[in-house]
Amino acid sequence: MRIMAVDYGDARTGIAVSDERGTIAGEAFVITEWSPERAAEKIAGEAASRGIGVVVLGYPKNMNGTLGPRAEKSEALAAMLRDNFGLKVVLWDERRTTVDAHRILNEVNVRGKKRKQTVDAVAASLILEGYLASLK
């Protein structure tokens, strides 16, 4: 079963997809969409075309474990994906994934516009890797 991780953002949403056995992270990319409804449609379309069994949606908690406005947006997206498209969605604590993604891109010297276009895909890959590790 393939698993898709989503790092949801207001404009750019990172997507990472596992291999068919659901053991390692593979393809990662970014979709650009401002509308939550259209973002949900694009995510559902990607899930359908890749035979995804589970969508792991980043759930941004504050460092002290409390939930803020970004978490509410993720909850709303999860509800749309479940209710409108019948997807199985798991909310996954994504604390520090974007910070770690920036660190990784620094280490490989990715800067400027390329970094802005890549960081969300890297963050989605980190979410996916964390989720896959928890299954073992």
For residue 111, what pLDDT is reported? 64
Q: Residue 109 — pLDDT band, cuts 50, 70, 90?
A: low
User: Which of 12, 92, 5, 4 minimizes the C-alpha distance to 48?
Assistant: 4
Tens-place pLDDT, residues 20-42:
988 888 899 999 999 999 999 99
88 C-beta neighbours (distance < 10 Å), count? 14
d(CA 7, CA 78): 12
* Full strand arrangement of the beta sheet holding 25-32: 25-32, 12-18, 2-7, 52-59, 89-93
* pLDDT bucket at 52, cuts 50 / 70 / 90: very high
pTM for the whole structure: 0.89
Mean pLDDT over residues 74-89, rounded?
A: 98
Q: Which helix (H) or strand (E) holds 15?
A: strand 12-18
